[in-house]
């Protein structure tokens, strides 16, 4: 009887803990989502309704025609094309080179490997502002590539950052070496092992790298301001900044443009979020 009561008490405590956890998660989710909803709600109102007090939680009328009016002044599709012209090759280059670098650090044996890996990880401590001016001088005065997309694309073909290389390395280390040995017996070289064994085993990590790089480039404003000067080459981040400055107090259209700017990023994240969570949760774990 005592054991049964203890078991029932344990089940009841677990149920209460689950309910409390769920309530906390719901509250935190609402806190995170509320600003996004407020922007969307504001985009469907007139400026007069936005300035009304007290503010209404729902729009008095759902004015979706605000988006059509905004698109006449905010060339979203041109900005989206320019943004994807940068993001697609940069994300592909960062993912491929990070995979190659992580595989080399995890599996290959060469002189100075530990030193190079320590140097790579140590570069994460270097503030980006330190390298900003030397990079600008190199791209503009030496290579004469200012007002082009190349300074925003080519640097990501070096692994896309030390963290990406580190992440891939941790995943590669979790793949049993017996698979490599079996492939070597069958006559496979390092390239075939990478493409046929390692890459299928670390797809979640590669998707995480791609998502991180996508989010980084989508939100990048500083680098784009430095290297892009022609309005025809503006990305969504630059275009939105210009649009906000030109309208000043037309908050309805500004909110519409803001919603248009973050919707593609949210869609891409939702598509890959399952792999994103899986990749983060299993980073560094060995089987």
Q: Is residue 286 part of a domain?
A: no
CATH number for the domain that contains residue 245: 1.10.3720.10
Q: Of 18, 41, 65, which residue is a domain's last?
A: 65
Q: Give the predicted TM-score (pTM) of the model.
A: 0.82
Per the structure, the count of domains in the chain is 2
The verdict on 40 and 154 lying in the same domain is: no
Could you report the per-residue pLDDT of 143-183, keeping only the tens digit for each?
A: 989 889 999 999 999 888 888 999 899 889 888 888 888 88
The verdict on 159 and 82 lying in the same domain is: yes
Q: How many Å separate Cα 176 from the centre of its chain?
A: 29
The answer to whether 107 touches 260, Cβ cutoff 8 Å, is: no
Could you report the per-residue pLDDT of 96-106, keeping only the tens digit for each?
A: 999 999 999 99
CA-wise closest residue to 261 among 38, 75, 87: 75
| Host domain of residue 81 | 70-281
The verdict on 83 and 179 lying in the same domain is: yes
Distances (CA, A) of 258 to 40, 124, 187, 242, 261: 9, 31, 54, 12, 5
Q: Of 48, 65, 82, which residue is a domain's last?
A: 65
Decide: helix, strand or coil at residue 269. helix
Q: Is residue 239 part of a domain?
A: yes
Q: Is residue 204 part of a domain?
A: yes
């Amino acid at each position: 009887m005592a054991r049964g009561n203890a078991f029932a008490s344990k089940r009841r405590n677990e149920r209460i803990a689950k309910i409390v956890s769920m309530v906390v998660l719901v509250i935190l989710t609402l806190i995170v989502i509320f600003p996004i909803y407020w922007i969307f709600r504001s985009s469907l109102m007139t400026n007069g309704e936005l300035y009304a007090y007290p503010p209404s939680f729902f729009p008095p009328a759902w004015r979706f025609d605000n988006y059509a009016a905004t698109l006449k002044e905010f060339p979203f599709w041109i900005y989206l094309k320019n943004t994807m012209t940068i993001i697609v090759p940069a994300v592909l280059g960062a993912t491929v080179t990070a995979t190659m670098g992580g595989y080399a650090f995890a599996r290959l044996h060469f002189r100075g490997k530990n030193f190079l890996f320590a140097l790579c990880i140590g570069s994460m401590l270097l503030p980006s502002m330190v390298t900003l001016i030397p990079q600008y001088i190199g791209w503009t005065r030496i290579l004469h590539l200012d007002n082009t997309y190349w300074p925003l694309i080519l640097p990501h073909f070096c692994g896309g950052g030390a963290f990406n290389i580190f992440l891939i390395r941790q995943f590669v280390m979790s793949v049993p070496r017996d698979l490599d040995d079996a492939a070597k017996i069958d006559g496979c070289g390092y390239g075939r092992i990478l493409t046929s064994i390692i890459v299928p085993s670390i797809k979640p990590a590669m998707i995480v790298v791609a998502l991180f790089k996508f989010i980084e480039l989508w939100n990048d404003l500083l680098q784009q301001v430095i290297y892009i000067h022609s309005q025809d080459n503006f990305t969504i981040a630059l275009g939105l900044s210009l649009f906000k400055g030109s309208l000043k107090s037309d908050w309805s259209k500004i909110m519409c443009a803001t919603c248009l700017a973050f919707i593609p990023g949210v869609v891409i994240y939702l598509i890959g979020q399952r792999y994103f969570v899986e990749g983060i949760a299993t980073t560094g774990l060995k089987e």
